[in-house]
């Protein structure tokens, strides 16, 4: 139990997926201009990443490793993620329209969010057990959400500041992200 | 209906072609990849560990197995007639897995030397574990029964300053090597004779 | 014909250079550019995938039903990515180790899928090949220049190929290690975008 807690902390803070591992940076910059979209994206990622983490782990063990076709990992994982996203979208639309209204527009974007694919691959590479993979998927997703929401909060302020013309928009966004990443390096010695 | 059918056919054919193509590429590149792994990761480390080997440890490599653990070992006879083996163990550093090649004297269970094989640590910081030998040099002469934890964890290893995570990763790998050795030594000795 | 080929090729090098103009493909750009060599390697791997997936997508554009086109593109891209993985393991093994997980992740690089969807799915094979090659080389240029800047400032060296530095700043130079670490990636790219904006204004 203690080990899982340490794993979760290190996935959320120390190896933060956005700021230390650099996965999922396109939506990080794309959806962080407004707090509202940032929260929506964060929720959608948590939802999909946990499911994708579980399913790809099972696929890897019982399909790829069992049949000795590990070289199809990239192809099969991306197909699993793409169809999962599609399926979640259809399911939410029919069954939980309220949630769909909130997450709907973010779901298609998640297929090309490398945070999802990246965490699935990390789970396999680090040889996690099913429970560890589940915890790491959830924790990485929470770390993603945390960084994204923090960043959106800062960015909403930056819009009000007087930024030199050449630095505007993405450029200042990246430098701000760098500062947040600097803050996150403080967590490094924790575990 | 026709549309549905064509969708399924196109996707299936595409996936099948892709699978077949990849299998072919894999078969073509496999021996070459194995050679590369040996050449770039393991061979330099083994040569450094067994500097006075009288045989070719890489050529004479074999696999040992006990329960569900399999390990590739590199046997060597040193200049003074000492029998030794080298094998690789893994730990987790700052940028990902760290591979550590460990050379052990089979008679005394003492470490001859260790070298880092692979790492993805930050250049100039964690990467010192591979380039600067004063850190990995600590392991030489230690018994396989020592505590390989870093001093911060109550063990005997001095961490590199500024690269604690990497140091812990290397020490993890050493502990993994310890466990492998404990488990597989009888099997190794059996196959060496 | 030849003119439009040149046009599609050169647009990726400057006017629509990925990463700097269209802010796409950020993850590999931030993660692997600790050294210039890594940037070049990653760029070349992406160029290979871009070129061949563009060609194949364009060849099959009349056969692929539009409803499953994204899935088909993904399969095509993933196939080439895996081929690159094998080839890099077999021939440039050290580089493969450094790039690690980011090689399979080319599959979700928005630049690649973006070109398939926006260009190759609608244009002829020749044009798509020119587009893929141009975008790939543009991406490589962007990654290697970011890598060069970070490495020079952060480690005081410049490595282009083969793992040994081509050039080292003299011993008096104390590396600004911030630049090779995670935060430096963001700041470095931010500054380069700023520079591009300044040049673009004229």
Over chain B (193 residues), the average pLDDT of each successive run of 10 is 80 86 86 81 80 77 76 81 83 77 85 81 69 81 82 80 80 87 81 73
A68 pLDDT exceeds 90? no
Closest residue in C to B35 (Cα–Cα): C90
d(CA A126, CA A140): 14
- How many Cβ pairs closer than 8 A exist between chain A and B? 18
CB C84 within 8 A of CB A76: no
Q: Does C75 touch chain B (CB under 8 A)?
A: yes
Q: Look at residue A1 in the predicted model and tell me its pLDDT.
A: 64
- The answer on pLDDT for A191 being more than 60 is no
Residue A190, domain member (yes or no): no
Q: B18 and A71 in contact by Cβ < 8 A?
A: no
3-state secondary structure chain B: CHHHHHHHHHHHHHHHHHHHHHHHHHHHHHHHHHHHHHHHHHHHHHHHHCCCECCCCCCCCEEEEECCEEEEEEEEEECCCCEEEEEEEEEECCCCEEEEEEEEECCCCEEEEEEECCCCCCCCCCCHHHHCHHHHHHHCCCECCCCCCEHHHCCCECCCCCCHHHHHHHHHHHHHHHHHHHHHHHHHHHHHC
Best of C75, C95, C103 to disrupt the B interface (most B CBs within 10 Å) is C75
Q: Which residues of C touch A (CB under 8 A)?
A: 23-28, 30-31, 70-71, 74-75, 78-79, 81-82, 85-86, 101, 104-105, 107-110, 113, 181-187, 189-191, 193-195, 197-198, 201
Q: What is the ipTM of this complex?
A: 0.82
Instruction: Please report the pLDDT score of residue A146 as a whole number.
Output: 92
Identify the band that residue A63 occupies on the pLDDT scale cut at 50, 70 and 90.
confident
What is the number of domains present in chain A? 1
- Check CB contact of C167 with chain B, cutoff 8 Å: no
Which of C101, C110, C193 lies closest to A26 in CB terms?
Answer: C110
Residues of chain B in contact with residue A126, where contact means CB-CB under 8 angstroms, are 92, 97
**Tens digit of each residue's pLDDT (9 = 90 or more) over C93-105:** 888 878 878 888 8
Please report the pLDDT score of residue A190 as a whole number.
Answer: 64
Over residues A109-133, the mean pLDDT reads 84
Quick one: pLDDT at residue A56?
Answer: 92
Give how far B102 is from chain A: nearest CA, Å: 21
Closest chain A CA to residue C106: A114
Percentage, residues of chain A above pLDDT 90: 15
Question: Greater confidence, A191 or A144?
Answer: A144
State residue A145's pLDDT score: 92
Residues of chain C with pLDDT under 70: 1, 162-163, 201-202
Full domain range(s) for residue A147: 2-185
Residues of B with CB under 8 A from a CB of C: 3, 6-7, 10-11, 14-15, 18, 21-22, 25-26, 29, 32-33, 36-37, 39-41, 96, 118, 120, 122-125
Residue A191 lies in a domain: no
Distance from CA of B123 to the nearest CA of C (A): 7
Q: Cα-atom radius of gyration of chain A, to the nearest Å?
A: 17
Min distance C72 CA to chain B CA atoms (Å): 6
Q: What pLDDT shows up at residue A137? A: 93
Q: What is the pTM of this model?
A: 0.78
The answer as to whether A100 is a domain residue is: yes
Q: Do C79 and A172 touch (CB under 8 A)?
A: no
Asked if residue A87 is part of any domain, the answer here is: yes
- Burial of C174 per CB tally in 10 Å (0-12, 13-18, 19+): exposed
Most confident residue range from A91-95, A179-183, B2-6, B53-57: A179-183
- Structure confidence at residue C53 (pLDDT): 92
**What DSSP line would sit under A40-99, residue for residue?**
HHHHHHHHHHHHHHHHHHHHIIIIIITTT-GGGHHHHHHHHHHHHHHHHHHHHHHH-HHH
**What is the model's pLDDT at position A58?**
92
Cβ of A75 within 8 Å of Cβ of B92? The answer is: no
Range scoring the smallest mean pLDDT among A77-91, A137-151, C39-53, C74-88: A77-91
**Mean pLDDT in chain A?**
84
Model confidence over B44-99: pLDDT tens digits?
888 888 877 778 777 777 877 777 777 888 888 877 778 888 888 888 776 677 88
Question: Residue A134: its pLDDT value, please?
Answer: 92
CA-nearest residue to A127 within chain B is: B97
Give contacts of B97 with chain A, Cβ < 8 Å: 125-126
């Amino acid at each position: 139990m203690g080990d899982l807690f340490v794993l979760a902390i290190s996935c959320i803070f120390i190896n933060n997926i956005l700021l230390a591992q650099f996965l999922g940076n396109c939506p990080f910059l794309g959806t962080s201009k407004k707090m509202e979209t940032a929260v929506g994206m964060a929720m959608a990622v948590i939802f999909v990443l946990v499911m994708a983490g579980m399913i790809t782990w099972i696929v890897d063990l019982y399909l790829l490793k069992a049949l000795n076709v590990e070289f199809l990992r990239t192809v099969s994982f991306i197909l699993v993620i793409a169809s999962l996203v599609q399926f979640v979208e259809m399911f939410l639309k029919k069954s939980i329209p309220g949630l769909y209204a909130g997450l709907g527009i973010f779901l298609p974007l998640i297929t090309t969010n490398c945070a999802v694919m990246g965490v699935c691959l990390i789970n396999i590479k680090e040889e996690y057990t099913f429970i560890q993979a589940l915890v790491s998927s959830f924790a990485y997703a929470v770390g993603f959400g945390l960084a994204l929401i923090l960043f959106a909060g800062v960015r909403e302020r930056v819009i009000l500041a007087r930024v030199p013309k050449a630095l505007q928009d993405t450029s200042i966004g990246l430098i701000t992200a760098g500062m947040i990443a600097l803050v996150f390096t403080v967590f490094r010695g924790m575990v | 209906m026709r549309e549905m059918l064509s969708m399924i056919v196109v996707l299936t054919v595409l996936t099948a072609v892709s699978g077949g193509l990849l299998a072919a590429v894999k078969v073509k590149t496999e021996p070459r990849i194995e050679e590369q792994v040996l050449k770039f990761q393991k061979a330099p480390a083994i040569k450094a560990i067994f500097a006075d080997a009288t045989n070719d440890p890489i050529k004479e490599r074999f696999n040992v197995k006990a329960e569900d653990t399999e390990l590739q070992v590199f046997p060597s006879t040193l200049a003074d007639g000492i029998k030794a083996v080298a094998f690789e163990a893994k730990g987790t550093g700052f940028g990902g897995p760290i591979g550590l090649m460990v050379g052990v004297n089979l008679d005394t269970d003492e470490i001859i030397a260790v070298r880092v094989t692979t790492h993805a640590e930050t250049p100039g910081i964690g990467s010192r574990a591979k380039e600067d030998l004063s850190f990995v040099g600590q392991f030489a002469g230690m018994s396989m029964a020592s505590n390989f934890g870093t001093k911060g964890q109550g063990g005997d290893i001095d961490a590199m300053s500024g690269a604690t995570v990497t140091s812990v990763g290397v020490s993890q790998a050493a502990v993994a090597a310890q466990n492998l050795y404990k488990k597989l030594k009888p099997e190794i000795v059996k196959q060496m004779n | 014909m030849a003119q439009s080929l040149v046009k599609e090729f050169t647009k990726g090098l400057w006017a629509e250079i990925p990463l700097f103009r269209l802010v796409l493909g950020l993850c590999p750009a931030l993660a692997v550019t600790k050294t210039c060599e890594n940037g070049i390697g990653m760029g070349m791997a992406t160029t290979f995938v871009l070129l061949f997936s563009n060609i194949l997508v364009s060849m099959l554009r009349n056969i692929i039903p539009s409803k499953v086109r994204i899935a088909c593109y993904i399969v095509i891209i993933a196939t080439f990515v895996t081929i690159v993985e094998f080839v890099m393991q077999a021939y440039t093994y050290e580089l493969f180790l450094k790039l690690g997980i980011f090689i399979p992740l080319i599959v979700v690089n928005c630049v690649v899928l973006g070109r398939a969807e926006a260009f190759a799915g609608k244009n002829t094979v020749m044009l798509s090949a020119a587009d893929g090659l141009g975008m790939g080389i543009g991406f490589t240029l962007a990654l290697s220049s970011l890598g060069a800047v970070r490495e020079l400032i952060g480690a005081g060296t410049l490595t282009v190929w083969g793992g040994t530095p081509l050039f080292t700043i003299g011993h008096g130079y104390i590396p600004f290690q911030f630049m090779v670490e995670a935060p430096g990636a963001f700041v470095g790219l931010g500054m380069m975008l700023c520079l591009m904006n300044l040049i673009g204004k004229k």
